[in-house]
Every structure is written in C-alpha cells, then in structure tokens.
C-alpha cells in the first residue's frame, strides 16, 4: 500500500484533517520503530487527486467467520499541545475503532463503519 493510500484510509477511518493524519501516522511509525518519512499533508492532497482507489468486493458462497472487536484510539487534535505544555484545556479526542478480522485469512475487514452501524443498531456494546 502506498503512503498516500495509507494516509487516505486513516483520514477516512478516523475523520482526521490532513495535518492530524500526518501526525497520527508519524506517531504510529515511531511506536512501531519504523524509520520512514511521512508525506506532508499538502503533498497528500496533491497525490489524492491522482489516486484511483478500487474497493475489492469478495463474492463467495462460503460462510465467513468474522471476529469482531473494538477499542478506543487517542487522537491528538486542537488544543492537545497546549494541554501537554500547560496542563489546561479539554482538547482530548477519542475515536472508537471497530475491527472485523476474517478468522481463516487474518485479513482485516475494510468496512468498519458498516460494522459500527450494524452492531449499534443491535445495541451490542463491546
């Protein structure tokens, strides 16, 4: 997956702006010990206009065992820097991430927003 596709996926999944996506990806790379440059958000915007993203739809008649879980992810947003430096403010943002993993292949389901809507309609809390 190209860096532009990865950043576009993260931005869509967590409803992040360009600069927030850039910082989020830098933090993930740092935590994982990956030494790769992250494109600036202005570069991302230019690349996204040229990007052709195709969603692969799996057509099968076999049953799929989908393992579902959710977690909270801390997103640094407006006011976070001030809060860390001065200890004042309410700029904290959390996003709930729903993951669906195909038990047989280990692939992460790409339709997390659909999972979110489906499970919350059924009033299933994780």
Residues 109 and 102 sit within 8 Å (Cβ to Cβ): yes
My answer on whether 22 and 61 are in the same domain is: no
User: What pLDDT does 126 receive?
Assistant: 44
Q: Which residue has the higher pLDDT, 2 or 35?
A: 35
Overall average pLDDT of the 86-102 stretch: 68
My answer on whether 62 and 1 are in the same domain is: no
My answer on whether 15 and 49 are in the same domain is: yes
Overall average pLDDT of the 45-61 stretch: 69
pLDDT tens column, 28-41: 888 888 888 888 87
Overall average pLDDT of the 77-106 stretch: 69
> What's the pTM value of the predicted model, to 2 decimals?
0.40
For 124, the domain range is: 57-126
Helix (H) or strand (E) holding 70: strand 66-76
pLDDT of 9 over the 70 cut: yes
Token pair listed for 38: 């992250």
Q: Which residue has the tokens 């494109």?
A: 39
């Amino acid at each position: 997956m190209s860096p532009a596709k990865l950043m576009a996926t993260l931005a869509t999944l967590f409803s992040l702006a360009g600069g927030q996506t850039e910082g989020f990806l830098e933090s993930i790379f740092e935590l994982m010990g990956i030494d790769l440059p992250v494109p600036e958000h202005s570069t991302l915007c230019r690349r996204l206009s040229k990007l052709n993203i195709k969603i692969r739809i799996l057509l099968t008649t076999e049953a799929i065992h989908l393992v579902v879980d959710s977690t909270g992810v801390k997103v640094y947003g407006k006011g976070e820097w001030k809060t860390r430096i001065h200890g004042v403010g309410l700029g904290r943002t959390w996003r709930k991430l729903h993951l669906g993993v195909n038990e047989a292949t280990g692939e992460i389901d790409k339709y997390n927003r659909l999972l979110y809507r489906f499970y919350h309609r059924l009033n299933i809390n994780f």
